[in-house]
Amino acid sequence: MNTTYRLTDELIARRLAERTTGPDDALVADILRATESRAQRRSVLPRPWSTAWALLLLALLLAAVAAIGIATAPPPMPPGLQVRAETPLGGLGLSPDGRWMTPFSRDGHTVVRTGPDAPRNPDGSFRGVLSWKGYSGGTAWSPDSRYVAWHGSGSVGVVTIYDLENPGAGPREISVAQQVPGTAWVLGMRWSPDGSQILFETSNCEYPCSAEGAATQLYLLDVATGSVDVISRTLPVGYVGTWSPDGESLGFIGGLIVDLRGTVVRDLLPLVPEIPPAVPPTCLSVPVWSPDGRRIAIIEPLTADTGRLLVFDPGAAEPRVLAADACRITGWSPDGERIVFVTGDSFATKLVQEGNSGGMRPTGPGSDAWIIGVEGGEPQRIFHLGWGEVPILTWDR
């Protein structure tokens, strides 16, 4: 017998209401009992005193360690992972091979060599092999780590590309201002896996930008010819994009995956708010493909500074929760078997300027870096990202 339903608003509301009952007192009691047992996981100190208590406890611990002469050795690094260098704070922009990085300062960027033999100034700071001032939307490294691209050396709408293997040739400048209508503020440059194109974004409003009416314009810059193709001028995505390993898809904050024509091909997190452009969130919810392109990892944000690490397996409609507390995905291991992620506040968004000196001072509790097998298990903490020197990780290849 076939039945035809007239699906009215009233019918849906009534049927849904029929599916529900109110909670009983026992449920409230169960909740309070369960949270009581977890009270130890919470800091119950008043906030203004928490930092002071933590510092006091840390000082006592260090004094005790010093008194009994115990060496404070860092935990052993997992196989295949090594600390390449330590660097001052900032937007690190590590090259894919780990040999170069681009910490920023108030005045611009510097390219420095990493590793224990990296040239340093007499005061211990890194000596740059290349530096520039002016506009900045971050840097982008070519997949072979030979070229570094950045926005502007004094002119808005100019992408500068520098060949590190041929420093005498000087920078190559490509003006995109004429090819990009409106504000040509170039953001979020990402080099394609084959090195032939650079994805970049421009926003239709200046930072800080309200969500209403904001849209990101996505473009592809052909590195060889300097020509620009439009992907989309209306997508509600922004700030950071990632390439799939095959170079056919782009992932954006909020879990949207689009093809190179700007068509949305997948929405990983349909319930997660799309992020307005030019407003960088603390925890980056951007899809990160495994090296073979078969899996996708992403942070599903729960609050402003925490989320869940999800992994979408091939053919599975629903993701697996790999870690219940995560903020950023640092990357996959080359074999795709492990993922490094960061919990806690991001160091990159916690810099404040110190007076008129131009120096940058970090605030906040810092972060922790973890590694976890992609099939699951307990994550292993690698180290704490405090406010001193930040370890730079590279994988053995």
Residue (256 or 372) nearer to other proteins, CB:
256
For the beta sheet containing 187-191, the strands, ordered from the edge strand earlier in sequence to the opposite edge, are 187-191, 197-203, 216-222, 228-232
Closest distance between other proteins and the C-beta of residue 315, in Å? 14
Q: Is 13 in the site for other proteins (CB under 8 A)?
A: yes
Nearer to other proteins, 189 or 286 (CB): 286
Question: Which residues face 321 on adjacent strands?
Answer: 310
Residue 313 engages other proteins in binding (rule: CB under 8 A): no
Looking at beta carbons only, is 78 or 273 nearer to other proteins?
273
Q: What is the spatial distance between Cα 356 and Cα 376, in angstroms, rounded to a whole number?
A: 48
Q: Residues 187-206: x/- map of binding to other proteins (CB under 8 A)?
A: --------------------
The residue among 73 and 271 lying less far from other proteins, judged by its C-beta, is 271
By CB under 8 A, name the one of 85, 195, 291, 306 that touches other proteins.
306
Stretch that binds other proteins, among 29-37, 76-84, 101-109, 353-361 (CB under 8 A): 29-37
d(CA 267, CA 244) in angstroms, rounded, equals 15
- Cross-strand bridge partners of residue 104: 109
In angstroms, what is the minimal distance from the CB of 24 to other proteins?
Answer: 9
Choose between 93 and 366: whose C-beta lies nearer to other proteins. 366
Q: Which is nearer to other proteins, 165 or 318 (CB)?
A: 318
Whose Cβ is closer to other proteins: residue 34's or residue 70's? Answer: 34
User: Rounded to the nearest whole angstrom, what is the least distance from the CB of residue 354 to other proteins in the complex?
Assistant: 23
Q: Rounded to 10 degrees, what is the CA torsion of 59, 63, 69, 74?
A: 0
Q: List the x/- string, 220-239, binding to other proteins by CB under 8 A.
A: ----------------x---
For the CB of residue 377, give the shortest distance to other proteins in the complex, in Å.
Answer: 18
* Residue 4 lies near other proteins (rule: CB under 8 A): yes
Q: Report the site for other proteins in 40-59 (rule: CB under 8 A).
A: 41-47
List residues bridging with 300 in a β-sheet: 308
Nearer to other proteins, 96 or 273 (CB): 273
Q: Which two tokens stand for residue 361?
A: 């001072």
Q: Is 208 in the site for other proteins (CB under 8 A)?
A: no
Q: CB-wise, 186 or 297, nearer to other proteins? A: 297
Among 27, 54, 61, 62, binds other proteins (CB under 8 A): 27
Phi and psi angles of residue 59, each rounded to the nearest 5 degrees, phi first: -60, -45
Identify which range of 26-34, 115-123, 155-163, 177-185 contacts other proteins by CB under 8 A: 26-34
DSSP 282: S
Output the CA angle 169-172-178, nearest 5 degrees: 160
Q: Which two tokens stand for residue 302?
A: 């729960």
> 211-217: long-range contacts at Cβ-Cβ below 8 A with a sequence spacing of 24 or more?
211/276, 211/279, 214/238, 214/276, 214/277, 214/278, 215/277, 216/277, 217/180, 217/182
Identify which of residues 9 and 123 has a Cβ nearer to other proteins in the complex.
Answer: 9
Report the C-alpha gap between 389 and 83 in whole angstroms.
12
Structure-block tokens of residue 318: 């629903």
Question: Omega before 116 cis (within 30°)?
Answer: no
Least Å from the CB of residue 38 to other proteins: 6
Buried b (16+ CB within 10 A) or exposed e, 135-171: bbbbbbbbbebbbbbbbbbeeebbbbbbebeeeeeeb
Question: In whole angstroms, how close is the CB of 187 to other proteins at the nearest point?
Answer: 20
Q: What does the H/E/C string look like for 208-267?
A: CCCCCCCCEEEEEEECCCCCEEEEECCCCCCCCEEECCCCCEEEECCCEEEECCCCEEEE
Encoded one letter per residue, x for contact with other proteins by CB under 8 A and - for no contact, window 263-302 reads: -------xxxxxx------------------------x-x
CB of 99 to other proteins, least distance (A): 36
What's the Cα-to-Cα distance from 229 to each of 112, 142, 201, rounded to whole Å? 32, 19, 12
Told to check if 315 binds other proteins by CB under 8 A, we report: no
Q: Residues 213-244, buried b or exposed e (16+ Cβ, 10 A)? A: ebbbbbbbbebeeeebeebbbebbbbbbbbbb
List contacts with other proteins (CB under 8 A): 1-5, 7, 9, 12-13, 15-23, 27-28, 30-32, 34-36, 38-39, 41-47, 211, 236, 270-275, 300, 302-306, 308, 318, 321
